[in-house]
Amino acid sequence: MMYKARQLFPFLIAALLITGCVNASEEVVFPTLNNEQPSNKVVAIYRGDSITNGEFQEFLAVQGFLNPDAPVNDSSYRKDALYQLIVEKYVGEKAMDTDWVNQQSEQLWNEIESSYSQKIREKAYEELGITEASVKKHIKAHYQSKQFFRDKVSEEDVNNYFDKEEYSVEFKTVEEAKEPILQKLVQKAINSYIQDELKRQVKRVEVS
């Protein structure tokens, strides 16, 4: 199935999740990244700061680790992934290390350890050219960027969304619906930020 660019944002922003649970003895085929450019090549410039091909390739490799089916060599996927990397790098750094960020990061890592045996993880690191530390770094940056936008959601926003989307059908109270509503509002905010902010300010985007 051909990848369509609009499919990327929900995948990367909603959560970095492994596709299903993997048996420890099961063979996992991780993608091979096409990379013909030097690591120091500048692939994007945002507010005068350069993003190198080396940074971008690491980000793609982590996506391939978290989801072996991700079309990491598709040009449309790569272009959108580059914007997501910029969000994590420049928005995520503005967020503090909160209990929520640490809890979400730890929870996802626990899911990874449950899904991928140590043997599978080590195989992935070798094939993708990454380390456990780089995976954890990007997981944390992902949740830090989400935290930045979560902090901007008010109680009024949550209440209005609860009424608008008729969450009362599924949830009895706003409090019960708060987390799924926050997730939707945060994803919407990040999508808008990419479309309205990044795509105007990123001066150069070069992905193969």
Convert 105-137 into a string of H (helix), E (strand) and C (coil).
HHHHHHHHHHHCCHHHHHHHHHHHCCCHHHHHH
Q: Decide if pLDDT at 6 tops 50.
A: no
Q: How far apart are CA 62 and CA 150, in angstroms?
A: 24
Give how far Cα 92 sits from Cα of 89, 148, 203, Å: 6, 7, 20
Max intra-chain CA distance, the chain: 55
In the CATH hierarchy, which fold is given to the domain comprising 5-12+36-205?
Triger factor/SurA peptide-binding fold (1.10.4030)
CA dihedral 107, 108, 112, 113 (to 10 degrees): -20
For residue 200, name the pLDDT band (cuts at 50, 70, 90).
confident
Q: Decide if pLDDT at 54 tops 90.
A: yes
SS3 assignment, position 23: coil
pTM given for the model:
0.84
Q: Decide if pLDDT at 162 tops 70.
A: yes
- Residue 101: partners with Cβ closer than 8 Å, 6 or more residues away: 95, 140, 143, 144, 147
Task: Provide the percentage of residues in the chain whose pLDDT is more than 70.
Answer: 87
Scan for tokens 């409090």, then name that residue.
175
- Whole-number pLDDT of residue 208: 65
Give how far Cα 208 sits from Cα of 43, 66, 88, 107, 148, Å: 10, 21, 21, 34, 30
- Determine which of 5-9, 15-19, 43-47, 114-118 has the lowest per-residue pLDDT on average: 5-9
